[in-house]
Amino acid sequence: AQTVTQSQPEMSVQEAETVTLSCTYDTSESDYYLFWYKQPPSRQMILVIRQEAYKQQNATENRFSVNFQKAAKSFSLKISDSQLGDAAMYFCAYRSVLGSGGSNYKLTFGKGTLLTVNP
Amino acid sequence: DAGVIQSPRHEVTEMGQEVTLRCKPISGHNSLFWYRQTMMRGLELLIYFNNNVPIDDSGMPEDRFSAKMPNASFSTLKIQPSEPRDSAVYFCASSFARAEAFFGQGTRLTVV
């Protein structure tokens, strides 16, 4: 079974600085998707960024970018120019293709990293 | 599109009572997930449907939990009988194929 590990339960960053959140995963598959989700205090789960495993280029979305290292099974999230509104729990997620016919697209989450942004 | 709609937003019930949580996925999505979130266990996948068929229910805690998806636009998660340890936020999410999942607002369940 696939597992997702976020080794940093909590992180903090100064406003306008850069922070990197770590994520590693375990899989025997060659094709999969990886995601970062953000959960602010409102508890709404919001997609931040996604990466297809077959793409070598790292995904970017404005101030958010990833460092995808497929061989190392690592998928870190970098937040540049941190803002107060970035404070939230961040979850790394893995989406697999399992079973015959590719019909099982199970989505597995890590335990999350709580990010605090200091003014 | 209204997004994934869950009801109720909050539920307080007494131990032993039956609880039913409801979810309307985004139209056109063919995958539906039920997750449970607690401080201790984080975000746990309870069950996953693909094209209305349960594919993986290995996360369902015990026989007190059951989930159904009678059609592409509706799913329920039932707990009978409920226990205090079932208190958590329950999320429903939907997606199309391997794309990202979109989450509902969640149902905060409190069993007293």
pLDDT digits (tens, 9 = 90+) for A52-81: 998 889 999 999 999 999 999 999 999 999
| pLDDT, tens digit, 9 for 90 and up, residues B44-97 | 999 999 899 998 888 898 899 999 999 999 999 999 999 999 999 999 999 987
Query: Span A18-39, mean pLDDT?
Result: 94
- Indicate yes or no: CB of A107 within 8 angstroms of CB of B97: no
Name the residue facing A103 among B50, B95, B101 (closest C-beta). Answer: B50
pLDDT above 90: percentage of residues in chain A: 77
pLDDT of residue B70: 96
Give the residues across from A64 on adjacent strands.
A61, A79
Q: Is residue A14 a contact partner of residue A118, using CB atoms and an 8 Å limit?
A: yes
Kindly state whether B2 is in contact with chain A, defined as any CB-CB distance less than 8 angstroms. Answer: no
**How many Å apart are CA B90 and CA B80, to the nearest integer?**
15
Segment holding A95, helix H or strand E: strand A88-95
Identify the band that residue A104 occupies on the pLDDT scale cut at 50, 70 and 90. Answer: low
Between A and B, how many residue pairs show a Cβ–Cβ distance under 8 A? 54
Among A50, A91, A104, beta carbon nearest to B43:
A91
Identify which of A43, A45, A104 has the shortest CB distance to residue B56: A104
Tokens of B61: 């805690």
Sign of torsion, CA A62 A46 A18 A109?
Answer: negative
Give residue A84's pLDDT. Answer: 96
Inform me whether the pLDDT recorded for A99 exceeds 60: no
Q: Which residues of A85-95 are buried (b: 16+ CB within 10 A; e: fewer)?
A: ebbbbbbbbbb
Distance of alpha carbon B11 from alpha carbon A38, whole angstroms: 24
Distance CA B56, CA B46 (A): 8
Cβ–Cβ below 8 Å for A107 and B93: yes
